[in-house]
Amino acid sequence: MRVVIAGGHGKIALILEKLLSERGDSIAGLIRNPAQAADLAEAGAEAIVLDLETASVQELAGHLTGADAVVFAAGAGPGSGADRKASVDRDAAVLLADAAEAAGVGRYLLVSAMGDHLRADPTTFDEGFGAYLRAKAGAEDAVRARSAFRATIVRPGLLGNEPGTGRVDLGERTGTGPIPRADVATVLLALLDEPRLDGRTVEVIGGDTPIVDAVTALAAR
């Protein structure tokens, strides 16, 4: 499998890259800062230096040729303003979708955010988090509307950096809860292996079910 990850230096992405490379898959990560390339190499991934806020569809598509799947795991970060959340969390996800279509990539996994943000009252959240949810909602809408590929949208709970447990609660609705980033990466790996969940939106938090079992059970519904 050839997989290209947008946001290739993110914490979830680096774990996923290592998991993919350890089992022999071909993996590349899109990064803006060339100084991060060494970390990707350590994880077993090829580094592609490209700024998703300024790149063209054609430029990005050239790097996706031959890929079986793309994963959007980029983010502007908690200290960013509303404009940058829109340009990264929404617009870069849409750019990746446009480029994936142009390059003939058949699968797209979008790491989104939990919550009924498509209907969210912006006054419910502080300005920064509200802007983040609106950006993720826009990305979901744009990616879900594609006909050239079927996107899987993954909405994790509250992310933590503790070691993964290998066990989750996975479903169309799970309720809120924490989950280690390592477990989110392992869920993404399992979803790449389970095309029956292409086109679905799933939520995931920490739980009691082994990840592969959880993904297989949901795919059978």
| Residues involved in catalysis | 132
Tell me: the pLDDT tens digits for 39-92? 999 999 999 999 999 999 999 999 999 999 999 999 988 778 888 999 999 999
Residue 125: pLDDT band (50, 70, 90) is low
Residue 148: name the closest of 52, 50, 70, 54 by CA. 70
Q: Which has the minimum average pLDDT: 23-32, 82-91, 141-150?
A: 141-150
221 pLDDT more than 50: yes
Place of tokens 């390592």: 182
Q: Is the dihedral of CA 115, 7, 94, 196 positive or negative?
A: negative
Q: Which residues pair with 150 in a beta bridge?
A: 107
Q: Which residues pair with 104 in a beta bridge?
A: none
Residue 59: name the closest of 69, 68, 70, 48 by CA. 48
